[in-house]
Amino acid sequence: MTQRDSNHSGPTPEELRAQVEHTRDEVGRTIESLAAKADVQARVQDQAAAVKEQAAVVKDQVADKASAAKDEVADKAAVVKDQVADKAAVVKDQVTDKAAVVKDQVADKAAVVKDQVTDKAAVVKDQVADKAVQVGDQLRDRTDQAARLLKDKTPAPVLDTAAGAAARVRDTASRVGRFAADQTPQPLSDKAGQFATTARNNRAPLIAAGLVLAAYLLIRNGGRSK
């Protein structure tokens, strides 16, 4: 054995200090490892809390955005509804105005056509009246000519007889006219009055016709007597 072994059986102070330092280092590393592990769990918990908090924030943001979108859609729908209502009102007013314009145009056209028809009827009436006057004048002239010719060629007794016959015809016609007027409704009486007026206006043709009739009767009676 050496002198060290003979004098000291235990570790020396230097060895003890070395062992203590070594133990201290190991304990420190162990503590650091445990602290690191504890720190990781804390970080995980913190991250989980952060994620949870972020999820809540995102949820609130999504809810807010959904509510905002809902409100925006509702506002947009209300705006569209108002626009459609306004457009429908405008179209209705336009249709009403157009119908009024068309109605006025139809009324104006009808008034123009009515005036044209009235004017045309007045023209035709005047033409018919003028034609009737012309025909009446021509008939009166021809009748007067025939009467004058017949009067010139008819003997006086025949003329007297024709005049008497014409007078009797007028009297009979007057009595019949009064009787018919008493027994005839007013519209027919008006027509008869118009006919009598026409007869008075054409007295000369009627007298000529009476003369012709009387001359014919005399001639026929004279032939029979022979």
d(CA 145, CA 204): 11
Calpha distance 143→202 (Å, rounded): 10
Specify the pLDDT at position 105.
92
Q: What is the pLDDT of residue 85?
A: 92
With left for phi above 0 and alpha for psi between -120 and 50, is residue 79 left, alpha or beta? alpha
d(CA 94, CA 81): 20
Spell out, as residue ranges, where the chain has pLDDT lower than 50.
1-6
Q: What is the pLDDT of residue 144?
A: 74
Locate 124 and state its tokens: 């035709």
Residue pair 200/159 in contact by the 8 Å Cβ criterion: no
Q: Which two tokens stand for residue 180?
A: 């018919």
pTM score, two decimals? 0.33
H-type alpha helices, the chain: 3-7, 13-153, 156-183, 186-201, 203-225
Q: What is the pLDDT of residue 3?
A: 46
What pLDDT shows up at residue 11? 77
Q: What is the pLDDT of residue 124?
A: 87
